[in-house]
Amino acid sequence: MFKRILLLAFVALGLFTLNAHAELKVDIIAGTTEPISVAVQKIEVASGASASDAATIRTVIEENLKRTGLFHIVNHNAFPEYVKFDEMPDFKLWTAVKTQVLVQGKLTKMADKKYQLDFYVWDIPGKEQIEAQSLVASKKSVRRLGHITSDAIYERLTGEVGYFDTQIVFIAETGPVDKRVKRMAIMDQDGHGLRYLSDEKTFVMSPHFSPNMQSIVFLSYYDDDPMVWVLNLDTGEQRRLGKFGGMNFAPRFSPDGNRVALSLVKNGITHIYEYNVETNAFTQLTKGDSINTSPSYSPDGRKIAFNSDRSGSQQIHILDLDTGKINRITYGAGRYATPAWSPDGQFIAFTKMADDTFYVGVMDPEGKNEKILAGGWFMEAPSWAPGSRRLVYYETERASDDIERMSHIRSVDITGQNLYDIELPDGVNGVEPTWSPRLP
């Protein structure tokens, strides 16, 4: 069973702010901004550290930054010099090759066989060091060292929360279209380190992380009984959330992790309920004879976005948990579903079906300023990265007589730019992805 690799220490060595005239910033929501050019030097090795591990860290940093679309990675062959660690770069040389940011690193094997990664980030136009940190971790955490370093660079240059040291849980489908095997799987946000969390015997759906990353709530058809279960990521233990007297599905943790919102079918009617993990209290939140499902909490935990056909067609509504008042927020052409509130509270992502096409988009919590980010034959399940500037979702290709239906996990930023697939192993289709919070 999968267990998270914990970072053992994370100590800032120093942080030097730029002068106003030299400030390097990239506008993450502009969409057409010129990428910042970043050079990542070969990471020095000391005290028997592995050169291969150092190269992996460098590659992880470069690939993470490149995938954002906000950074241009300077070709290694264009480097004008190699700057030894603890030495200053020749700013004129780097300016001549149009480098704006230089990253230095040093990997040291410590006496207890752990790794220490020290890194510096230089603003070339400003001729200053803007970031310096030291990270200590086990040798198994080499890729995490690269992800955390990437986060530090990203945050310093964008002012936004990084999302590289995160994971994605999803349903991995294998086998022929008519005999698909569904297993819950987890991987790093870049597709590495994929591990299965369930076996081939039980049909599972709709996994979502708890805020503290200790557990995952999901739908399981264990013994052909569709119920919500919880998986403890530290121990691998699975337990049924509760006995609710009907089919329950679409679970989602509240921001404080103390509650789970879910849909429950009783007497042919689907309503949203809330289960209190600490008290076991079970409360019905919606009434009437309409279908209500896909609940998503606001970041403060005081509201829930959900989709319902109470207005005659499938639309997104907002439930105020304090007052019980429900407001419809979508009025555009087509049907709306699977709302997902952004971590910063500024957006609600959604799936839209119109004109025989599926779309993934975002809007504000009042339903205004709708923006379509992607469209295709079938796509669903948008989920936010930390920082609220990037989404993950899945898209299924139209099947033909000669081609097996394929489902891909894709990521896009809120401008609709820089869309890419997260690479999965051959023969694995990915559906229902959920992006984790930052790892502890």
Domains and CATH numbers, the chain: 9-158 (3.40.50.10070), 167-435 (2.120.10.30)
- The 3-class secondary structure across 83-119, one letter per residue, is CCCCCCCCHHHHHHCCCCEEEEEEEEECCCCCEEEEE
Interhelix angle 142-158/51-67, nearest 10 degrees? 40
The stretch 267-288 carries a mean pLDDT of 94
Average pLDDT of the chain to the nearest whole number: 90
Q: What is the mean pLDDT of residues 191-215?
A: 94
Of 216, 207, 169, 209, the residue nearest 189 (C-alpha): 169
d(CA 264, CA 274): 10
The CA-based angle 379-231-292, given to 5 degrees, is 45
Percent of the chain at pLDDT > 90 equals 81
Top mean-pLDDT range of 241-245, 287-291, 399-403, 404-408: 287-291
Stretch 376-380: mean pLDDT: 94
pLDDT in tens, 249-270: 899 999 999 999 999 998 889 9
The region of weakest confidence among 2-16, 139-153, 244-258, 347-361 is 2-16
How large a percentage of the chain has pLDDT more than 70? 92
E-assigned strand segments in 138-237:
167-174, 181-188, 195-196, 204-209, 215-220, 227-232
User: Do the Cβ atoms of 14 and 132 come closer than 8 Å?
Assistant: yes
Q: How many CB atoms lie within 10 A of CB 62?
A: 20
pLDDT at 12: 33
Q: Which residue has the tokens 């009907």?
A: 246
- Sign of the C-alpha dihedral, residues 373, 378, 379, 380? positive
Residue 183's DSSP bridge partners are 172
pLDDT-based confidence at residue 27 (cuts at 50, 70, 90): low
Res 20: pLDDT: 33
**pLDDT at 9 exceeding the cut of 90:** no
Q: What is the mean pLDDT of residues 165-186?
A: 92
Model pLDDT, residue 30: 52
Q: Which residues, 6+ apart, have CB-to-CB distance to 414 below 8 Å? A: 29, 347, 362, 371, 373, 388, 389, 390, 391
Count of H helices and E strands in the chain? 3, 31
Poorest-pLDDT segment among 71-75, 276-280, 383-387, 409-413: 276-280
Higher pLDDT, 20 or 349: 349
Three-state SS for 179? helix
CB of 58 within 8 A of CB of 49?
no
Least confident of 16-30, 188-202, 310-324: 16-30
Read off the pLDDT of each residue in 223-251 and give the average, rounded to a whole number: 88
Angle ∠(398,403,405) on CA atoms, nearest 5: 45
- How many Cα atoms are found within 13 Å in the side-chain-facing hemisphere of 50? 13
* Alpha-carbon gap, residue 27 to 33, rounded angstroms: 7
**Per-residue pLDDT at 211 exceeds 60:** yes
Q: What is the DSSP-derived secondary structure letter of residue 140?
A: G
The answer on pLDDT for 341 being more than 90 is: yes
| pLDDT tens figures, 31-69 | 557 899 999 999 999 999 999 999 999 999 999 999 999
Cα–Cα distance measured from residue 102 to residue 26, given in angstroms and rounded to the nearest whole number: 16
> CB–CB of 210/170 below 8 Å?
no
Query: Confidence band (pLDDT; 50, 70, 90) for 431?
Result: very high
Can you tell me whether residue 29 is helix, strand or coil?
coil
Instruction: Quickly tell me which residue has 């690193």 as its tokens.
Output: 105
